[in-house]
């Protein structure tokens, strides 16, 4: 009763965050974003990472050129493309050529498997479509590639014309495809519809995969149903990103397989990374996180009801389906919002600060809590956290510099085609002498940075080598329009050191200024470049 199936000999988790996930409305990934997300997927323990469509757009082409530097630990990179065009030759298809030169061992090509899509969307014959599949797979295999085929609209196609859908899979298999991935491209399937179609397809004998979308709210359940019916390769995306309603969320899938099916699909350490991976990828992709996301969401282990709270004190397991630390998440009582003393002490240890004193740790914890309620986030901003601790210890009474005032002026005259004029003034005191300098920039924060650098340089010439390498802005309550609270994060680099500071406020310039001046303060306190 309530038994799990036996784990198949092989089971592959295939991440398509960078290709299908990037189709999500509002998602725009730069090359650096893509490289950073690939590292996260690798850290989570997926078997394959689909990086994009080389040859179809310059970022994706460049991604494959740069990917070898990533040094992925376990994931294999896959280049995505399509079958050759109708009425042409595989050997003359520039996109198939680009797949050959992308430098991956694996390639995945999408093929039409639904007869109506062949005739109406592709506008070719059913036979030519089969020839396109066969030719393209053979061409890639002939170039030494291990080939996967995404059978697009497979399930809808099977329901319309099962013989043809099966023929597409058979053709791909006979041409040398290792895996044929059955795609519910429109996402309209239900779990109880999956089994029969998968069983009928299994008879072909090629390894089957599944690729689900969430349009019926069942992407994950459909993937599990397909797996229960014999599929051994599952595609999805981190956080379920994707076109329309998104793809199967790999974070939930992996946790379900590992903790519910009790199949070791990743290592316990990789599973323990999952909450961090989910949130880091959301940060990189600039997507809001869903507090309700299973396993990794901020509320996934949050308890509110009075009904439960007293029982929770007796036995955590009574009201939690798993131990939240297994996926790197925390149990969360909603009365208090975050960071207890223990967390603060662990964090301090990581940063090489002694927070073993209970009172000090408690004081910092309550400050962090207070400031987080205002919108600060210290998870990534280690430098601001360290400044907060040092300040609490009284170590910042004697600062390298102190601000007197700053101002910014931005003006645009005439045609909006011309750039606005931006100027900033910074007045401060450093090593006992007052400094006032003006700076120009192509934006207010850039101008403030120029002025601040100039004002610091007489006392601290080393700031010349501090480089602002990262600037992020997050509007915290977007629905308050231009009156919303803004969180700014600035990354600064000196030689091999990089540190991050945070600023918060209703005024984006003020928040930026806070992060900016703290960035210099931190570098100077650390003595970066002081000996040169």
| Residues in region 128-187 near a copy of itself by CB under 8 A | 153, 159, 162, 185-187
* List 13, 300, 430, 502, residue binding a copy of itself (CB under 8 A): 300
Residue 50 touching a copy of itself (CB under 8 A): no
Show contacts of 20-24: CB within 8 Å, 24+ apart. 20/50, 20/211, 20/235, 20/237, 20/242, 20/243, 20/247, 21/237, 21/238, 21/241, 21/242, 21/246, 21/247, 22/52, 22/241, 23/242, 23/243, 24/241, 24/242, 24/243, 24/246, 24/287
Compose the 305-324 pattern: x for residues touching a copy of itself by CB under 8 A, - for all others.
Answer: x----xx--xx--xxxxx--
Q: How near is the Cβ of 444 to a copy of itself at its closest, in Å? A: 6
513 binds a copy of itself (CB under 8 A): yes
Which of 405, 432, 496, 532 binds a copy of itself (CB under 8 A)? It is 405
Q: What minimum distance in Å lies between the beta carbon of 511 and a copy of itself?
A: 9
Which one of 74, 91, 267, 299 is in contact with a copy of itself (CB under 8 A)? 299
- Of 5 and 142, which CB lies nearer to a copy of itself in the complex structure? 5
The alpha helices in 229-289, defined as continuous H runs, are 250-255, 268-272, 274-285
Interatomic CA distance for residues 140 and 191, integer angstroms: 34
- Interacting positions 69-108 with a copy of itself (CB under 8 A): none
Query: Residue 344: CA atoms inside 13 Å, Cβ hemisphere, count?
Result: 23
CB of 381 to a copy of itself, least distance (A): 10
Which is nearer to a copy of itself, 3 or 531 (by Cβ)? 3
The footprint of a copy of itself on residues 52-71 (CB under 8 A) is 57
| Contacts (CB under 8 A) with a copy of itself, residues 188-217 | 188, 190-193, 196-197, 200, 214-217
Q: Could you say whether residue 407 binds a copy of itself (CB under 8 A)? A: yes
Tell the smallest beta-carbon distance from residue 416 to a copy of itself (Å): 6
Tokens of 142: 């002939």
Euclidean distance between CA atoms 199 and 192, whole angstroms: 12
Q: Chain centroid to CA 229: how far?
A: 30
Based on the number of CB atoms within 10 Å of its own CB, is 73 exposed (0-12), middle (13-18) or buried (19 or more)? exposed
Quote the CA–CA distance of 80 and 183 in Å, as a whole number: 15
Q: How far is the CB of 314 from a copy of itself (least distance, A)?
A: 5
Choose which of 70, 72, 95, 302 interacts with a copy of itself (CB under 8 A): 302
Cα–Cα nearest to 238, from 302, 300, 287: 287
Largest CA distance in the chain: 85
Contact with a copy of itself (CB under 8 A) among 62, 97, 174, 243: 243
Q: Which of 13, 99, 102, 508 touches a copy of itself (CB under 8 A)?
A: 508
Count of other CB atoms within 10 angstroms of residue 475: 14
Minimum Å distance from CB 222 to a copy of itself?
Answer: 8
Kindly state whether residue 2 participates in binding a copy of itself, applying the rule CB under 8 A.
yes
Q: Is 326 in the site for a copy of itself (CB under 8 A)?
A: no
From 205, 258, 256, select the one nearest 230 (Cα to Cα): 205
Nearer to a copy of itself, 221 or 459 (CB): 221
Q: Which of residues 443-502 bind a copy of itself (CB under 8 A)?
A: 443-446, 448-449, 467-484, 486, 490-491
**What does the alpha-carbon distance between residue 423 and residue 38 come to, in Å, rounded to a whole number?**
39
Q: How many residues bind a copy of itself (CB under 8 A)?
A: 139
CB atoms inside a 10 Å sphere around CB 358 = 10
Binding piece for a copy of itself, criterion CB under 8 A, among 25-33, 124-132, 167-175, 457-465: 25-33
Q: Which residues make Cβ contacts (< 8 Å) with residue 142, sequence separation at least 6? A: none
CB 491 within 8 A of CB 500: yes
Pick from 45, 54, 246, 529: which binds a copy of itself (CB under 8 A)? 246
Nearest to 285 by CA among 253, 250, 237: 237
State the Cα–Cα distance between residues 279 and 291, nearest whole angstrom.
11
* Nearer to a copy of itself among residue 32 and residue 105 (C-beta): 32
Which span (37-45, 66-74, 172-180, 332-340) binds a copy of itself, by CB under 8 A?
A: 332-340
Minimum CB separation from a copy of itself for residue 362, in Å?
Answer: 20
Are 422 and 442 in contact, with CB atoms under 8 Å apart? yes
* Cα–Cα distance for residue pair 238/247, rounded to 1 Å: 9
DSSP summary character for residue 330? -
Q: Which 425-444 residues touch a copy of itself, going by CB under 8 A? A: 441-444
Closest CB to a copy of itself among 214 and 345?
214
Window 384-403: residues binding a copy of itself (CB under 8 A): 403
Over its C-alpha atoms, the chain yields an Rg (Å, rounded) of 27
- Report the nearest approach of a copy of itself to the CB of residue 218 (Å): 5
């Amino acid at each position: 009763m309530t038994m799990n199936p036996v784990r198949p000999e092989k089971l592959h988790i295939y991440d398509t965050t960078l290709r299908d996930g990037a189709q999500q409305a509002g998602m725009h990934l730069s090359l650096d974003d893509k490289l950073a997300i690939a590292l996260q997927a690798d850290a989570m323990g997926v078997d394959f990472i689909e990086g994009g469509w080389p040859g179809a757009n310059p970022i994706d082409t460049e991604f494959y050129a740069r990917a070898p530097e990533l040094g992925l630990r376990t994931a294999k990179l896959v280049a995505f493309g399509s079958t050759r065009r109708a009425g042409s030759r595989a050997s003359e298809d520039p996109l198939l050529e680009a797949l050959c030169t992308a430098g991956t061992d694996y390639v995945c090509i999408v093929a039409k498997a639904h007869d109506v899509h062949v005739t109406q969307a592709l506008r070719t014959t059913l036979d030519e479509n089969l020839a396109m599949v066969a030719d393209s797979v053979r061409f890639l295999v002939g170039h030494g590639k291990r080939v996967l085929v995404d059978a697009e609209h497979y399930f809808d196609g099977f329901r319309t014309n099962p013989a043809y859908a099966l023929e597409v899979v058979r053709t791909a298999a006979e041409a040398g495809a290792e895996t044929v991935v059955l795609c519910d491209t429109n996402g309209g399937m239900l779990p109880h519809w999956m089994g029969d179609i998968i069983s009928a397809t299994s008879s072909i004998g090629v390894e089957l995969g599944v690729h689900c979308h969430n349009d019926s709210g069942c992407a994950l359940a459909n993937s599990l149903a397909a797996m229960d019916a014999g599929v051994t390769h599952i595609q999805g995306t981190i956080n379920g990103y994707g076109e329309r309603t998104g793809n199967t969320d790999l974070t939930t899938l992996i946790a379900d397989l590992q903790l519910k099916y009790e199949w070791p699909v990743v290592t316990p350490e990789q599973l323990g990374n999952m909450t961090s991976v989910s949130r880091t990828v959301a940060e990189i992709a600039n997507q809001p996180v869903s507090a309700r996301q299973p396993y990794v969401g901020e509320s996934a282990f949050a308890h509110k009801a009075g009904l439960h709270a007293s029982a929770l004190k007796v036995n955590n397991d009574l009201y939690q389906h798993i131990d939240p630390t297994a996926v790197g998440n925390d149990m969360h009582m909603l009365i208090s919002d975050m960071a207890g003393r223990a967390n603060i002490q662990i964090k301090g240890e990581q940063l090489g600060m002694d927070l073993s004193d209970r009172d000090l740790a408690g004081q910092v914890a309550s400050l962090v809590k207070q400031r987080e309620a205002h919108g600060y986030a210290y998870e990534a901003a280690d430098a601001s956290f360290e400044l907060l601790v040092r300040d609490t210890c009284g170590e910042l009474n004697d600062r390298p510099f102190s601000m007197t005032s700053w101002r910014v002026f931005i003006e645009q005259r005439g045609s909006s085609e011309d750039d606005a004029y931006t100027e900033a003034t910074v007045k401060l005191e450093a090593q006992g002498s007052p400094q006032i300098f003006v700076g120009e920039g192509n934006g207010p924060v850039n101008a403030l940075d120029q002025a601040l650098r100039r004002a610091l340089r007489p006392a601290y010439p080393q700031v010349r080598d501090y480089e602002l390498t990262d600037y992020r802005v997050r509007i915290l309550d977007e629905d308050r329009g231009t009156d919303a609270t803004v969180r700014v994060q600035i990354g600064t680099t000196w030689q091999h050191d990089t540190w991050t500071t945070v600023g918060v406020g209703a005024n984006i310039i003020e928040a930026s200024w806070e992060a900016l001046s703290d960035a210099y303060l931190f570098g100077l306190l650390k003595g970066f470049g002081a000996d040169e």
